[in-house]
Amino acid sequence: MAGGNQLSFGDGLLSNRRKISKLSKHLATLDQIIDWQPLVREIAIIDKTDAKTGGRPRKNPLWMIKATFLQSLFSLSDPQLEDQLIDRLSFQRFVGINLDQEIPDFFPKPRERFKEALSAHNLDQRIFELINQQLEDKGLMIKKGTIIDASILPSSGRPLSDKKREKLSEQPSTQIDTDAKSTRKGGRYYFGYKGHIGVDVESKLIRKATFTPANTHDSRETEKLVSYDEKALFGDKAYLDGHHKYSARHYGWYYGVLDKATRSQPLSGSQKKRNRKLNSVRAAVEHPFAWMKTKAGLVAMRAKNQTRNRLRFIFACIGWNLSRARFLLEKSKPMGSVAL
């Protein structure tokens, strides 16, 4: 296990079992994809304890970061995650807890403090970048083009009136989400956030990700979702922008953003044909969003502020990338003289 603990005697005995569950194999493969130690070193900034100042030391950071990943991957609450760590050997092995060790009591306050610290220092984004760098080093980022898109992620809270917001600005409440905003799409109103992603066309790996209130227009995030080393840019008509079209020409990209009709100028036949062709490419961006909503349970943002909800979204992006990387690496394994 990359960056993990050594097996105990009890783990060694169990490793001789002939049957291994699919979940155990899946987690073991994900664990091998990533070198976790650079991540552990990066989050060392949140540990404020030392020999001079004293204080209760934080829980093993490797355990904490892997537990956070599991929580996102399987859409678990803190109590559910604790139960699964107690009950599932595959979870214990992935986190690095041996059979002769007690399940650490890091729920719920230590977990909350850890996640708060990750968010406060923008370490969720940094972890995402470090993992992506490792995937790039494995040759998984093809860089032929980037597809940009956004998805509305509703808040579990209710929309707030201007009067209520004004009152909360004077008397804040940790139980009410004041960061979420309302937007309209397809004749319906939504209250919550938007997750924005830039996806590598060929590998479908998420290269860039941002998280905003729902009322943020998609095109405002374009520059943050482009890596500037791709050869093409794809997006729906919400991203049509003369400045970005000019930038694409400047960087030598193919500009694959859909054409948009106006009242005075409907789309021509050739533009409609072009849009249909581009939509077949752009459709790949729906796959990570579908995975995040079905597998990672990203259907409602339950936290009460944008920072906490962003952490959940970023870790869902990491979950998709590792699952996708596992598929890509297994697909490329040689079988005799033929690559699968």
Digit-coded pLDDT (tens) for 293-320: 999 999 999 988 999 999 999 999 999 9
Domain match, 117 and 197 both: no
Domain containing residue 280: CATH number: 3.30.420
pLDDT at 28 over 80: yes
Mean pLDDT of the chain: 86
Domain match, 100 and 148 both: no
Residue 38 placed within a domain: yes
Give residue 162's pLDDT band: very low, low, confident or very high (50, 70, 90): confident
Residue 334 placed within a domain: no
The pLDDT of 276-288, averaged and rounded, is 96
Name the maximum alpha-carbon separation found in the chain.
76
- Number of domains within the chain: 2
Domain match, 179 and 213 both: yes
The whole-angstrom separation of Cα 9 and Cα 23 is 22
Domain match, 259 and 218 both: yes
Give residue 46's pLDDT band: very low, low, confident or very high (50, 70, 90): confident
The least confident of 46-50, 125-129, 149-153, 202-206 is: 46-50
The least confident of 21-30, 47-56, 105-114 is: 47-56
Residue 4 placed within a domain: no
Q: What is the pLDDT of residue 335?
A: 42
Q: What is the pLDDT of residue 9?
A: 43
What does DSSP say about strands 188-200 and 181-185: parallel, antiparallel, or unpaired? antiparallel
The pLDDT of 280-302, averaged and rounded, is 94
Name residue, tokens 């409440």. 173
Give residue 98's pLDDT band: very low, low, confident or very high (50, 70, 90): confident
Residue 183 placed within a domain: yes
Neighbours of 148 (CB within 10 A): 26
Q: What is the pLDDT of residue 167?
A: 86
Give residue 248's pLDDT band: very low, low, confident or very high (50, 70, 90): confident
Residue 325 placed within a domain: no
Domain match, 178 and 79 both: no
The whole-angstrom separation of Cα 282 and Cα 257 is 9
How deeply is 330 buried, as exposed, middle or buried, from its count of CB atoms within 10 A (0-12, 13-18, 19+)? exposed
pTM: 0.87
Which range marks the domain in which residue 183 is found? Answer: 143-304
Number of residues in the chain = 340
The pLDDT of 271-279, averaged and rounded, is 96
pLDDT at 145 over 60: yes
Instruction: Please give the DSSP secondary-structure letter assigned to residue 301.
Output: B
Give residue 241's pLDDT band: very low, low, confident or very high (50, 70, 90): confident
pLDDT at 41 over 70: yes
The pLDDT of 109-129, averaged and rounded, is 88
Q: What is the pLDDT of residue 339?
A: 37
Domain match, 156 and 266 both: yes
> CB of 115 within 8 A of CB of 311?
yes
Query: Which tops the pLDDT comparison, 168 or 225?
Result: 225
Residue 273 placed within a domain: yes
Q: What is the pLDDT of residue 2?
A: 46
Q: What is the pLDDT of residue 13?
A: 43
Domain match, 187 and 114 both: no
Over residues 70-81, the pLDDT tens digits come to 998 888 888 888
pLDDT at 186 over 90: no
Domain match, 64 and 104 both: yes
Give residue 268's pLDDT band: very low, low, confident or very high (50, 70, 90): very high
Domain match, 258 and 153 both: yes
Give residue 42's pLDDT band: very low, low, confident or very high (50, 70, 90): very high
How deeply is 228 buried, as exposed, middle or buried, from its count of CB atoms within 10 A (0-12, 13-18, 19+)? exposed
Residue 319 placed within a domain: no
Domain match, 147 and 117 both: no
Query: Which tops the pLDDT comparison, 161 or 94?
Result: 94
Residue 332 placed within a domain: no
Q: What is the pLDDT of residue 110?
A: 75
The whole-angstrom separation of Cα 298 and Cα 156 is 11
Domain match, 113 and 166 both: no
The pLDDT of 240-264, averaged and rounded, is 88
> CB of 75 within 8 A of CB of 321?
no
Domain match, 113 and 175 both: no
